[in-house]
Chains A and B, each alone.
Chain A
């Protein structure tokens, strides 16, 4: 039996009838066409599908779309502001935090949760916060540098503001 859900995704309100067994990641990709959120493992391990639901990083392959009814969702497509890259996106570009880029949306969304809680993380804290995100290319080193870049940039922006 289809169920009506209402979600706000990247600031835009949506309402759809969905089959309860629809995974949130399928809803984002197949119904809303937001294919920036990737499916790597589909078994809750790799973190490629990480998005923010009500501000917290979650694996959207392990969440039903109906569970997100009434929630605010943010995906990688919602990170840039009118064409200006989010400091995390800029950090990944500047510090070569990606190679194939498959893991990158999940890395950025998990890092967004981290910087929200802890704007000034140590290298160790960054590595811990990204434990649920796998990268097959970079060896993680530049990913950590990318997050450090973003943390610095955000704290500078806040000082100016």
Chain B
């Protein structure tokens, strides 16, 4: 399968990429790892006239501490994150999620920025970034702005990103002392995308849940924060019973997707199971 014809430009800097995107307008698309875009182009679901390749930009490919925050460049690959000590030490769900994406070959090419921009309803990173209280840094012809992960995913393959903007980095605030996290997913056995995935981070003090952050993916048109689960667990003792009870709220009131592989009812059931597993693992 061969994509439609297009012109190809390899940007040598983020600024040049922004210029090229502005110049070519609606017809242009950014190309990072290409592991969502190229399959879609081969199926002609997407037919951009111009590709602006940002896949080789070293200025987008890093993982570092900045003050108390962890900052991940949009061009960091899933494999970079899977192997990053600082990422693991900040929130272990980052390396857990990275390691569960696709396979080695996919992780070697696919990037964090590409995954967030693509906003596949079954992607792993959106849930992890919501649970991590991440901020997504965007740059366009009119300057930079930051959007909270909570507000970034607006619908089915839709985000707060404007046509002419680039995700440059993802900033994750240092979690409070006593925080542990986990990402658990039930994967589609062929594609390895999430049927349901749950990211949870728990801040514990003397066996009591001080703070909890939970997000789900795969369930509906976009990843979302499971506020009702958080409310049910905050301030409670982190017993198996309390966690199981709070996890029952996962997926409540959500319009779940169904397909030939997993029905709506099954997905809603899995949401509870995987919320419980992620919370149990994070509370350990």
Contact = CB atoms under 8 A, between A and B. Distances in A.
A115 interface: no
Interface string A59-77: 1001110110110000000
B116 interface: no
18 contacts: A20-B6, A21-B2, A21-B4, A21-B5, A21-B6, A26-B2, A43-B1, A44-B35, A58-B108, A64-B8, A67-B34, A67-B53, A110-B104, A129-B104, A131-B103, A131-B192, A132-B106, A133-B103
Nearest to A56: B108
Given A64-B38, A113-B104, 20 more contacts: A20-B51, A22-B2, A23-B2, A43-B39, A44-B39, A47-B103, A50-B105, A56-B79, A56-B108, A58-B105, A58-B109, A62-B35, A62-B109, A67-B31, A67-B34, A67-B53, A67-B55, A69-B10, A132-B103, A132-B105
A3 B105 contact: no
| Residue picked from A62, A63, A132, most chain B C-beta under 10 Å | A62
B38 A62 contact: yes
Contact of B5 (A19, A43, A67): A19
Most A CB contacts (10 A, CB to CB) among B2, B108, B191 go to B108
Contacts of A62: 34-35, 38-39, 109
Contacts of B35: 44, 62
A12 to B, nearest CB: 22
Interface in A1-58: 1, 3, 19-23, 26, 42-45, 47, 50, 56-58
Contacts of B106: 44, 59, 132
Interface of A: 1, 3, 19-23, 26, 42-45, 47, 50, 56-59, 62-64, 66-67, 69-70, 110, 113-114, 129, 131-133
B3 interface: yes
B152 to A, nearest CB: 26
Contacts of A113: 104, 108
Interface string B1-17: 11111111010000000
B102 interface: yes
B272 to A, nearest CB: 27
A110 B2 contact: no
A48 to B, nearest CB: 11
B5 A47 contact: no
A65 B20 CA distance: 21
